[in-house]
Amino acid sequence: MLLSNRINAIEESATLAMAAKAREFKNKGVDVISLSLGEPDFKTPAHICEAAKKAIDDGKYFAYPPVPGYQDLREAIAVKYQKENNVPYKAENIVVSNGAKQSIANVMLAILNPGDEVIIFAPFWVSYDALVRLTEATPVLVKGTLENDFKVTAAQVEQAITSKTKAIIFSSPCNPTGSVFSKKELEAISQVVLKHPNLLVIADEIYEHINFVGDQTSMASLPGMFDRTITVNGFAKGFAMTGWRVGYIAAPKWIADGSNKVQGQITSANCSISQRGALAAITGDLAPTKKMVEEYHKRREIVYNLLKEIPGVKANYPQGAFYFFPDVSSYYGKTDGATTIKNGDDFCLWMLEKGHVSLVPGGAFGDERCVRLSYAASEKDLREALRRMKETLATLK
Protein backbone atom coordinates (compact mmCIF):
# COMPACT_ATOMS: atom_id res chain seq x y z
CA MET A 1 0.00 0.00 0.00
CA LEU A 2 2.84 2.35 0.78
CA LEU A 3 4.82 1.59 -2.34
CA SER A 4 5.60 4.49 -4.63
CA ASN A 5 3.60 5.18 -7.78
CA ARG A 6 6.78 4.52 -9.75
CA ILE A 7 7.06 0.98 -8.41
CA ASN A 8 3.35 0.35 -8.77
CA ALA A 9 3.63 1.37 -12.43
CA ILE A 10 6.02 -1.44 -13.34
CA GLU A 11 5.86 -5.21 -13.48
CA GLU A 12 8.34 -7.68 -12.08
CA SER A 13 10.94 -8.64 -14.75
CA ALA A 14 9.13 -11.35 -16.77
CA THR A 15 12.36 -13.13 -17.73
CA LEU A 16 13.46 -13.44 -14.12
CA ALA A 17 9.95 -14.28 -12.93
CA MET A 18 9.64 -17.20 -15.39
CA ALA A 19 13.12 -18.41 -14.47
CA ALA A 20 12.10 -18.39 -10.80
CA LYS A 21 8.90 -20.32 -11.59
CA ALA A 22 10.90 -22.93 -13.52
CA ARG A 23 13.24 -23.24 -10.52
CA GLU A 24 10.23 -23.75 -8.21
CA PHE A 25 9.08 -26.67 -10.36
CA LYS A 26 12.60 -28.12 -10.46
CA ASN A 27 12.86 -27.88 -6.67
CA LYS A 28 9.67 -29.95 -6.45
CA GLY A 29 11.42 -32.64 -8.47
CA VAL A 30 9.79 -31.87 -11.84
CA ASP A 31 12.12 -32.39 -14.80
CA VAL A 32 11.73 -28.92 -16.30
CA ILE A 33 13.69 -27.76 -19.34
CA SER A 34 14.21 -24.08 -18.79
CA LEU A 35 14.37 -22.01 -21.96
CA SER A 36 13.17 -18.87 -20.25
CA LEU A 37 16.29 -17.08 -19.07
CA GLY A 38 18.65 -15.72 -21.70
CA GLU A 39 21.84 -17.04 -20.21
CA PRO A 40 24.74 -18.85 -21.90
CA ASP A 41 24.93 -22.49 -20.82
CA PHE A 42 28.72 -22.32 -21.12
CA LYS A 43 31.21 -21.62 -18.36
CA THR A 44 33.24 -18.41 -18.31
CA PRO A 45 36.47 -19.05 -20.32
CA ALA A 46 39.42 -20.14 -18.15
CA HIS A 47 41.72 -17.17 -18.86
CA ILE A 48 39.05 -14.79 -17.50
CA CYS A 49 38.61 -16.84 -14.32
CA GLU A 50 42.39 -16.99 -13.87
CA ALA A 51 42.66 -13.20 -14.13
CA ALA A 52 40.02 -12.78 -11.43
CA LYS A 53 41.71 -15.32 -9.15
CA LYS A 54 45.02 -13.54 -9.61
CA ALA A 55 43.35 -10.22 -8.76
CA ILE A 56 42.19 -11.66 -5.44
CA ASP A 57 45.63 -13.09 -4.67
CA ASP A 58 47.40 -9.87 -5.65
CA GLY A 59 45.67 -8.20 -2.72
CA LYS A 60 45.43 -4.93 -4.63
CA TYR A 61 41.78 -5.00 -5.55
CA PHE A 62 40.05 -5.00 -2.18
CA ALA A 63 39.07 -1.32 -2.11
CA TYR A 64 36.39 0.75 -3.86
CA PRO A 65 37.24 1.02 -7.55
CA PRO A 66 36.85 4.43 -9.26
CA VAL A 67 33.13 5.10 -9.85
CA PRO A 68 33.19 4.72 -13.68
CA GLY A 69 35.52 1.69 -13.57
CA TYR A 70 39.27 1.08 -13.56
CA GLN A 71 41.12 3.30 -16.00
CA ASP A 72 42.81 0.38 -17.80
CA LEU A 73 39.47 -1.36 -18.37
CA ARG A 74 37.85 1.83 -19.68
CA GLU A 75 40.82 2.37 -21.99
CA ALA A 76 40.62 -1.22 -23.24
CA ILE A 77 36.90 -0.81 -23.97
CA ALA A 78 37.61 2.44 -25.85
CA VAL A 79 40.34 0.74 -27.91
CA LYS A 80 38.00 -2.16 -28.73
CA TYR A 81 35.42 0.32 -30.04
CA GLN A 82 38.07 2.20 -32.07
CA LYS A 83 39.41 -0.99 -33.64
CA GLU A 84 36.37 -3.24 -34.01
CA ASN A 85 33.44 -0.84 -34.27
CA ASN A 86 35.00 2.19 -35.89
CA VAL A 87 33.90 4.58 -33.11
CA PRO A 88 36.55 6.95 -31.67
CA TYR A 89 35.61 6.52 -27.99
CA LYS A 90 38.14 7.44 -25.29
CA ALA A 91 38.23 6.27 -21.67
CA GLU A 92 36.33 9.43 -20.65
CA ASN A 93 33.32 8.15 -22.66
CA ILE A 94 33.08 4.83 -20.80
CA VAL A 95 31.20 3.99 -17.58
CA VAL A 96 31.39 0.41 -16.32
CA SER A 97 28.38 -0.77 -14.29
CA ASN A 98 26.71 -3.79 -12.69
CA GLY A 99 25.50 -5.31 -15.93
CA ALA A 100 24.12 -3.63 -19.04
CA LYS A 101 20.83 -3.37 -17.16
CA GLN A 102 22.31 -0.91 -14.68
CA SER A 103 24.03 0.88 -17.55
CA ILE A 104 20.64 1.49 -19.17
CA ALA A 105 19.07 2.51 -15.85
CA ASN A 106 21.90 5.01 -15.22
CA VAL A 107 21.45 6.54 -18.65
CA MET A 108 17.69 6.83 -18.31
CA LEU A 109 18.00 8.49 -14.91
CA ALA A 110 20.65 10.79 -16.35
CA ILE A 111 18.75 11.97 -19.45
CA LEU A 112 14.99 11.61 -18.89
CA ASN A 113 12.54 13.98 -17.24
CA PRO A 114 8.96 13.08 -16.31
CA GLY A 115 6.79 13.47 -19.40
CA ASP A 116 9.59 12.86 -21.92
CA GLU A 117 8.79 10.22 -24.51
CA VAL A 118 11.08 7.31 -25.37
CA ILE A 119 10.48 5.38 -28.57
CA ILE A 120 11.01 1.69 -27.92
CA PHE A 121 11.29 -0.61 -30.91
CA ALA A 122 8.94 -3.51 -30.24
CA PRO A 123 9.33 -6.39 -29.66
CA PHE A 124 11.76 -5.13 -27.01
CA TRP A 125 13.75 -6.47 -24.12
CA VAL A 126 11.48 -6.48 -21.05
CA SER A 127 13.37 -3.97 -18.92
CA TYR A 128 13.42 -1.07 -21.43
CA ASP A 129 9.78 -0.30 -20.84
CA ALA A 130 10.01 -0.67 -17.04
CA LEU A 131 13.11 1.50 -16.76
CA VAL A 132 11.49 4.28 -18.81
CA ARG A 133 8.47 4.16 -16.50
CA LEU A 134 10.68 4.28 -13.41
CA THR A 135 11.92 7.69 -14.55
CA GLU A 136 8.29 8.78 -15.07
CA ALA A 137 8.92 9.24 -18.77
CA THR A 138 6.50 7.68 -21.27
CA PRO A 139 7.32 4.62 -23.38
CA VAL A 140 6.08 4.87 -26.98
CA LEU A 141 6.06 1.47 -28.63
CA VAL A 142 6.73 1.27 -32.35
CA LYS A 143 6.10 -2.23 -33.63
CA GLY A 144 8.04 -4.23 -36.17
CA THR A 145 6.16 -6.93 -38.04
CA LEU A 146 7.06 -10.60 -38.39
CA GLU A 147 6.97 -10.10 -42.19
CA ASN A 148 9.77 -7.49 -41.85
CA ASP A 149 11.76 -9.73 -39.50
CA PHE A 150 10.26 -7.66 -36.63
CA LYS A 151 12.39 -4.68 -37.66
CA VAL A 152 11.06 -1.15 -37.23
CA THR A 153 11.62 1.07 -40.29
CA ALA A 154 12.94 4.64 -40.49
CA ALA A 155 9.52 5.76 -41.75
CA GLN A 156 7.84 4.32 -38.66
CA VAL A 157 10.34 6.13 -36.42
CA GLU A 158 9.71 9.39 -38.23
CA GLN A 159 5.98 9.06 -37.68
CA ALA A 160 6.35 8.35 -33.96
CA ILE A 161 8.56 11.36 -33.13
CA THR A 162 6.84 14.23 -31.30
CA SER A 163 8.17 17.38 -29.63
CA LYS A 164 8.47 15.32 -26.42
CA THR A 165 10.61 12.52 -27.85
CA LYS A 166 13.94 12.45 -26.03
CA ALA A 167 15.36 9.08 -27.02
CA ILE A 168 15.01 5.92 -29.07
CA ILE A 169 16.06 2.54 -27.71
CA PHE A 170 16.56 -0.81 -29.44
CA SER A 171 18.87 -3.81 -29.40
CA SER A 172 20.66 -5.28 -32.42
CA PRO A 173 21.05 -8.26 -32.49
CA CYS A 174 17.66 -8.09 -30.88
CA ASN A 175 16.45 -9.70 -27.69
CA PRO A 176 13.84 -11.27 -28.17
CA THR A 177 13.63 -11.59 -32.00
CA GLY A 178 17.26 -12.18 -33.03
CA SER A 179 16.91 -9.57 -35.79
CA VAL A 180 19.99 -7.61 -36.85
CA PHE A 181 19.70 -4.12 -38.31
CA SER A 182 21.85 -3.78 -41.43
CA LYS A 183 24.10 -0.76 -41.92
CA LYS A 184 21.67 0.55 -44.52
CA GLU A 185 18.70 0.27 -42.16
CA LEU A 186 20.59 2.02 -39.36
CA GLU A 187 21.70 4.76 -41.75
CA ALA A 188 18.09 5.40 -42.70
CA ILE A 189 17.11 5.65 -39.02
CA SER A 190 20.09 7.94 -38.30
CA GLN A 191 18.93 10.29 -41.08
CA VAL A 192 15.60 10.67 -39.28
CA VAL A 193 17.29 11.19 -35.89
CA LEU A 194 19.61 13.87 -37.27
CA LYS A 195 16.63 15.98 -38.30
CA HIS A 196 15.86 16.44 -34.58
CA PRO A 197 18.68 18.18 -32.70
CA ASN A 198 17.66 16.99 -29.20
CA LEU A 199 17.01 13.35 -29.98
CA LEU A 200 19.30 10.61 -28.60
CA VAL A 201 19.67 6.94 -29.50
CA ILE A 202 20.35 4.20 -26.95
CA ALA A 203 21.86 1.40 -29.02
CA ASP A 204 22.07 -1.85 -27.08
CA GLU A 205 24.84 -4.02 -28.58
CA ILE A 206 25.06 -6.63 -25.81
CA TYR A 207 24.67 -9.45 -28.38
CA GLU A 208 27.20 -8.06 -30.88
CA HIS A 209 29.37 -11.18 -30.81
CA ILE A 210 26.41 -13.49 -31.37
CA ASN A 211 25.72 -12.36 -34.91
CA PHE A 212 25.45 -14.96 -37.68
CA VAL A 213 25.33 -12.52 -40.60
CA GLY A 214 28.29 -10.29 -39.74
CA ASP A 215 26.71 -6.95 -40.67
CA GLN A 216 27.27 -5.57 -37.14
CA THR A 217 27.18 -1.79 -37.35
CA SER A 218 27.40 0.51 -34.35
CA MET A 219 24.95 3.39 -34.58
CA ALA A 220 27.66 5.65 -33.08
CA SER A 221 29.95 4.93 -36.06
CA LEU A 222 27.56 6.52 -38.57
CA PRO A 223 28.11 10.13 -39.72
CA GLY A 224 26.83 12.64 -37.16
CA MET A 225 25.78 9.96 -34.67
CA PHE A 226 28.73 9.94 -32.24
CA ASP A 227 27.25 12.88 -30.30
CA ARG A 228 23.75 11.42 -30.37
CA THR A 229 24.34 7.81 -29.39
CA ILE A 230 24.69 5.97 -26.12
CA THR A 231 26.15 2.57 -26.89
CA VAL A 232 25.33 -0.15 -24.37
CA ASN A 233 27.34 -3.32 -24.11
CA GLY A 234 28.63 -5.83 -21.57
CA PHE A 235 30.40 -9.10 -20.95
CA ALA A 236 27.51 -11.39 -19.95
CA LYS A 237 26.53 -12.76 -23.34
CA GLY A 238 29.70 -12.82 -25.46
CA PHE A 239 31.93 -14.13 -22.67
CA ALA A 240 29.44 -16.21 -20.65
CA MET A 241 29.78 -13.91 -17.64
CA THR A 242 26.17 -13.26 -16.60
CA GLY A 243 26.84 -13.63 -12.88
CA TRP A 244 29.90 -11.37 -12.92
CA ARG A 245 27.63 -8.40 -13.67
CA VAL A 246 29.79 -6.23 -15.89
CA GLY A 247 28.14 -3.93 -18.42
CA TYR A 248 29.11 -0.56 -19.75
CA ILE A 249 28.08 2.45 -21.75
CA ALA A 250 30.13 4.35 -24.28
CA ALA A 251 28.62 7.80 -24.73
CA PRO A 252 29.30 11.49 -25.26
CA LYS A 253 31.20 12.77 -22.21
CA TRP A 254 28.29 14.78 -20.79
CA ILE A 255 26.12 11.66 -20.72
CA ALA A 256 28.94 9.51 -19.32
CA ASP A 257 29.41 12.15 -16.61
CA GLY A 258 25.67 12.14 -15.85
CA SER A 259 25.62 8.33 -15.60
CA ASN A 260 28.68 8.45 -13.42
CA LYS A 261 26.90 10.80 -11.05
CA VAL A 262 23.94 8.40 -10.79
CA GLN A 263 26.23 5.44 -10.25
CA GLY A 264 28.25 7.24 -7.58
CA GLN A 265 25.06 7.72 -5.59
CA ILE A 266 23.59 4.27 -6.18
CA THR A 267 26.30 1.60 -6.25
CA SER A 268 29.64 3.45 -5.96
CA ALA A 269 31.15 1.25 -8.65
CA ASN A 270 31.18 -2.19 -10.24
CA CYS A 271 32.81 -5.09 -8.34
CA SER A 272 36.62 -4.82 -8.45
CA ILE A 273 37.33 -8.50 -9.11
CA SER A 274 34.72 -8.73 -11.88
CA GLN A 275 36.36 -5.78 -13.59
CA ARG A 276 39.73 -7.57 -13.59
CA GLY A 277 38.03 -10.56 -15.23
CA ALA A 278 36.42 -8.23 -17.76
CA LEU A 279 39.79 -6.71 -18.62
CA ALA A 280 41.12 -10.20 -19.42
CA ALA A 281 38.04 -10.84 -21.56
CA ILE A 282 38.29 -7.70 -23.64
CA THR A 283 42.05 -7.82 -24.16
CA GLY A 284 42.22 -11.62 -24.55
CA ASP A 285 41.67 -14.31 -27.11
CA LEU A 286 38.22 -14.35 -28.73
CA ALA A 287 38.54 -18.05 -29.65
CA PRO A 288 36.28 -19.25 -26.77
CA THR A 289 33.65 -16.68 -27.77
CA LYS A 290 33.81 -17.84 -31.40
CA LYS A 291 33.38 -21.44 -30.30
CA MET A 292 30.28 -20.58 -28.30
CA VAL A 293 28.87 -18.66 -31.26
CA GLU A 294 29.42 -21.67 -33.54
CA GLU A 295 27.37 -23.73 -31.11
CA TYR A 296 24.55 -21.14 -31.04
CA HIS A 297 24.63 -21.10 -34.83
CA LYS A 298 24.16 -24.87 -34.97
CA ARG A 299 21.35 -24.74 -32.44
CA ARG A 300 19.55 -22.02 -34.35
CA GLU A 301 19.19 -24.43 -37.29
CA ILE A 302 18.01 -27.26 -35.08
CA VAL A 303 15.40 -25.18 -33.27
CA TYR A 304 14.23 -23.47 -36.46
CA ASN A 305 13.61 -26.80 -38.16
CA LEU A 306 11.88 -28.30 -35.13
CA LEU A 307 9.67 -25.23 -34.67
CA LYS A 308 8.58 -25.53 -38.30
CA GLU A 309 7.30 -29.02 -37.52
CA ILE A 310 4.86 -27.72 -34.91
CA PRO A 311 1.53 -26.93 -36.61
CA GLY A 312 0.33 -23.34 -36.23
CA VAL A 313 3.65 -21.90 -34.99
CA LYS A 314 5.19 -19.08 -37.06
CA ALA A 315 8.77 -17.95 -36.49
CA ASN A 316 11.20 -15.55 -38.13
CA TYR A 317 14.73 -16.74 -38.87
CA PRO A 318 16.91 -14.99 -36.27
CA GLN A 319 20.23 -13.56 -37.43
CA GLY A 320 21.80 -13.19 -34.01
CA ALA A 321 21.42 -13.42 -30.21
CA PHE A 322 20.08 -16.79 -28.95
CA TYR A 323 16.33 -16.45 -29.01
CA PHE A 324 13.32 -17.41 -31.05
CA PHE A 325 10.15 -15.37 -30.72
CA PRO A 326 7.51 -17.56 -32.37
CA ASP A 327 3.90 -16.49 -32.87
CA VAL A 328 1.81 -19.12 -31.08
CA SER A 329 -1.47 -17.21 -31.14
CA SER A 330 -3.19 -19.85 -33.29
CA TYR A 331 -3.44 -21.83 -30.02
CA TYR A 332 -5.20 -19.04 -28.14
CA GLY A 333 -8.83 -19.99 -27.50
CA LYS A 334 -8.02 -23.72 -27.58
CA THR A 335 -8.46 -26.08 -24.65
CA ASP A 336 -7.15 -29.40 -23.36
CA GLY A 337 -10.54 -30.06 -21.74
CA ALA A 338 -9.55 -28.57 -18.38
CA THR A 339 -7.63 -25.38 -19.25
CA THR A 340 -8.38 -22.86 -21.97
CA ILE A 341 -5.38 -20.95 -23.34
CA LYS A 342 -6.45 -17.33 -23.62
CA ASN A 343 -3.11 -15.57 -24.09
CA GLY A 344 0.66 -15.86 -23.85
CA ASP A 345 0.67 -15.94 -20.04
CA ASP A 346 -1.73 -18.90 -20.06
CA PHE A 347 0.28 -20.55 -22.82
CA CYS A 348 3.56 -20.37 -20.88
CA LEU A 349 2.07 -21.43 -17.56
CA TRP A 350 0.27 -24.34 -19.20
CA MET A 351 3.41 -25.37 -21.12
CA LEU A 352 5.38 -25.34 -17.87
CA GLU A 353 2.77 -27.39 -16.02
CA LYS A 354 1.91 -29.87 -18.79
CA GLY A 355 4.98 -29.97 -21.03
CA HIS A 356 7.57 -29.06 -18.39
CA VAL A 357 9.16 -26.52 -20.70
CA SER A 358 9.63 -22.98 -19.49
CA LEU A 359 9.26 -20.04 -21.92
CA VAL A 360 8.53 -16.32 -21.43
CA PRO A 361 5.19 -14.77 -22.50
CA GLY A 362 5.58 -12.35 -25.40
CA GLY A 363 3.40 -9.65 -23.84
CA ALA A 364 6.32 -8.65 -21.62
CA PHE A 365 8.32 -7.99 -24.82
CA GLY A 366 5.50 -6.04 -26.47
CA ASP A 367 3.82 -8.77 -28.56
CA GLU A 368 1.03 -10.82 -26.99
CA ARG A 369 0.92 -13.27 -29.89
CA CYS A 370 4.42 -14.59 -29.26
CA VAL A 371 6.50 -16.39 -26.65
CA ARG A 372 10.26 -16.23 -26.19
CA LEU A 373 12.42 -19.31 -26.29
CA SER A 374 16.13 -19.11 -25.43
CA TYR A 375 18.30 -21.65 -27.23
CA ALA A 376 21.26 -21.11 -24.93
CA ALA A 377 20.76 -24.70 -23.83
CA SER A 378 22.28 -28.04 -24.83
CA GLU A 379 21.28 -29.65 -28.12
CA LYS A 380 19.85 -32.59 -26.18
CA ASP A 381 17.66 -30.33 -24.03
CA LEU A 382 16.55 -28.33 -27.05
CA ARG A 383 15.50 -31.42 -29.00
CA GLU A 384 13.63 -32.78 -25.99
CA ALA A 385 11.98 -29.41 -25.25
CA LEU A 386 10.73 -29.05 -28.82
CA ARG A 387 9.49 -32.64 -28.79
CA ARG A 388 7.56 -31.92 -25.58
CA MET A 389 6.13 -28.71 -26.98
CA LYS A 390 4.89 -30.43 -30.12
CA GLU A 391 3.39 -33.32 -28.19
CA THR A 392 1.74 -31.10 -25.56
CA LEU A 393 0.31 -28.67 -28.11
CA ALA A 394 -1.23 -31.58 -30.02
CA THR A 395 -3.55 -32.17 -27.02
CA LEU A 396 -5.24 -28.78 -27.56
CA LYS A 397 -8.55 -28.68 -29.41
| Residue at 25: amino acid letter | F
Q: Are 315 and 300 in contact (CB under 8 A)?
A: no
Does residue 17 interact with ligand GLU by CB under 6 A? no
Does residue 45 interact with ligand GLU by CB under 6 A? no
CA-wise closest residue to 386 among 317, 306, 272? 306
- Side-chain-side CA neighbours of 227 within 13 Å: the count stands at 6
Among 15, 177, 211, 270, binds ligand GLU (CB under 6 A): 15
Residues in contact with ligand GLU, counted by CB under 6 A, come to a total of 10
Q: Which of residues 161-200 bind ligand GLU (CB under 6 A)?
A: 175
Cis peptide before 361 (omega within 30 of 0): no
Q: Are 19 and 358 in contact (CB under 8 A)?
A: yes
Among 74, 101, 209, 299, binds ligand GLU (CB under 6 A): 101
Strands, DSSP E only, in the chain?
Answer: 33-34, 94-97, 117-122, 138-143, 165-171, 200-204, 229-234, 247-250, 323-324, 357-358, 360-361, 371-374
The neighbour count for residue 58, using CB atoms within 10 Å, is 10
Binding mask 310-349 for ligand GLU (x = CB under 6 A): ----------------------------------------
| Strand 229-234 versus strand 165-171 pairing type | unpaired
CA-wise closest residue to 278 among 90, 97, 37? 97
Binding mask 61-90 for ligand GLU (x = CB under 6 A): ------------------------------
Does residue 103 interact with ligand GLU by CB under 6 A? no
Q: Quick one: 15 or 135, whose CB is closer to ligand GLU?
A: 15
Does residue 355 interact with ligand GLU by CB under 6 A? no
Q: Quick one: 101 or 300, whose CB is closer to ligand GLU?
A: 101
Q: Quick one: 91 or 385, whose CB is closer to ligand GLU?
A: 385
Minimum CB–partner distance for residue 119 and ligand GLU (Å): 20
- The contact set with ligand GLU (CB under 6 A) reads 13, 15-16, 37-38, 101, 125-127, 175
